[in-house]
Structure 1
């Protein structure tokens, strides 16, 4: 198997024993991203639109480091602290894709790391 760890300073450092992303056999698996500003420990949670924008920017940085774009994304998973945030998150998320949207599920969970409101992971392919 051809396995490569993807890491960029343009996305936040992992907050645990995991990689930002792993690329293997033309597939990219991006770990769940939260709204931490890269290079800082600053967390954006006071506005769900700004929080989602930061999450998507972090994901974009990882995709770019792997030589990919949002058009390469096959599947996403969105974790929400509360399903009442769905519409706001969806509006921001949708701006990052053209009409060929990836497959996706959105789930409400009891809690997320650092008590954030949204976390998003992705699977992409070359």
Structure 2
């Protein structure tokens, strides 16, 4: 069974679901560092945008009944690979112990002002 998950606490688009729950897994779309309450990028730095993108991901996981402890994999897409260290500063605050599997790659899409996109998979069994 496939269930679309949606929350006003994260950015949304008519082109994709914020997340889809299927077979005990939650697949969260790539979310950026936009503050959904204000509709603007959280700030010009990789740290500010990483913090907001993770907050947005967490809101979607929460809407599905989970927590960040349920996350099994995270995908990080960076506009500038040199932002990797700054991204890690914020990421480590979110997953300080026993972090999920993770990959990082270069973001191919050009989105004005956007430095990062984060997608994840959680197991809600």
For normalisation by structure 1, the TM-score amounts to: 0.91
1:26 aligns with 2:24: yes
Q: What is aligned with 1:49? A: 47
2:94 maps to which residue? 96
The structure with the greater share of residues assigned to strand is 2
Contact between 2:72 and 2:122, CA under 8 Å: does it hold in 1? yes
CA contact (8 A) 1:49 1:89 kept: yes
User: TM-score w.r.t. structure 2 length?
Assistant: 0.91
Does structure 2 conserve the Cα–Cα contact (< 8 Å) formed by 1:112 and 1:119?
Answer: no
Task: Give secondary structure in 1 for the equivalent of 2:44.
Answer: coil
Cα distance between partner residues in 2 of 1:78 and 1:22? 19
Structure 2's unaligned 5+ residue stretches are none
State the partner residue of 1:36.
34
Instruction: Kindly state the Cα deviation for residue 97 of structure 1 after the two structures are TM-superposed.
Output: 1.5
> Is the 1:32–1:119 contact (alpha carbons within 8 Å) kept by the matching residues of 2?
yes
Task: Give aligned pairs, total.
Answer: 124
What is the Cα-based RMSD across aligned positions, in Å? Answer: 1.4
Q: In the aligned structure 2, how far is the partner of 1:102 from the partner of 1:67?
A: 18
Give the aligned partner of residue 6 of structure 1.
5
C-alpha separation in 2, matches of 1:26 and 1:91: 30
In structure 1, C-alpha distance between the alignment counterparts of 2:106 and 2:43, rounded to whole Å: 16
Consecutive unaligned residues of structure 1, counting only runs of 5 or more, are none
- In structure 1, distance between residues paired with 2:108 and 2:20: 27
Distance (whole Å) between structure 1 residues aligned to residue 109 and residue 43 of structure 2: 14
Find runs of 4+ consecutive structure 1 residues off by over 3 angstroms: 109-115
Give the deviation of 1:13 after TM superposition: 1.4
- Determine the C-alpha separation between the residues in 2 that align with 1:52 and 1:109: 14
